[in-house]
Amino acid sequence: MSKDNESSFKDDLRDIWPSEGMCCEVVGCTGPILKTHAKYTAHWKLKHVTQINVFSCPHKCKQKYAEKWKMNRHLKLTHKYSSEMVSAIEIPVSKEENMHYVCPGNVLYRKVSKVNTEARDAARKARQDYIREQNLPVRDQPSGDLQVCRGHYVDFNNNLTESKVVKRW
């Protein structure tokens, strides 16, 4: 197996981030549901990597924060920065040992699936087109993405990149 294949194989083992959000699965992680993948990623960077970025306040107070938004808030509250000043300044950042590191064990960082989003959007578009073209009554709202109406389904090709509506009775 080539190195590329190997890494994509490993990547395939990663679970997909559910669109409705979820709690971190790592043992020892309790906490609220992380609603977006961005929040999940921020959490993962804070807790499950051995080194973290630390932002240091460029002023005398020498405050340090692991999260950029906290530094931004600090600059505004303590140093009376405006939003423009905050976005203009370059905050010194350094790598430090993560004091809050929790070993993720065999839990892998979840990825978002672009393919599924494309497939879902393609399915939605195919359904809308089909309903319009066939002048189907929209009386029964299809419950899922995949059923267009009774007996009509959206089918995908093998790569989940294209879809079409088929009849299946």
Strand partners of residue 34: 22
Q: Which residues, 148 to 167, sit near Zn ion by CB under 5 A?
A: none
Specify the stretch interacting with Zn ion by CB under 5 A; choose among 15-23, 27-35, 110-118, 140-148: 27-35
Between 24 and 165, CB nearer to Zn ion: 24
Specify the stretch interacting with Zn ion by CB under 5 A; choose among 20-28, 89-97, 113-121, 129-137: 20-28
For residues 169 and 167, give the distance between their C-alpha atoms in angstroms, rounded to a whole number: 6
Scanning the structure block, which residue is given the tokens 């004091």? 99
Is 86 a residue that touches Zn ion (CB under 5 A)?
Answer: no
For residues 110 and 15, give the distance between their C-alpha atoms in angstroms, rounded to a whole number: 5
Show the site string, 63-82: x = touches Zn ion by CB under 5 A, - = not: x-------------------
Q: C-beta of 156: minimal distance to Zn ion in Å?
A: 33
Alpha carbon distances (Å) from 159 to 50, 57, 75: 36, 48, 48
Nearest residue to 79 via CA among 89, 66, 93: 89
Give residues in contact with Zn ion (CB under 5 A): 24, 26, 29, 47, 57, 59, 61, 63
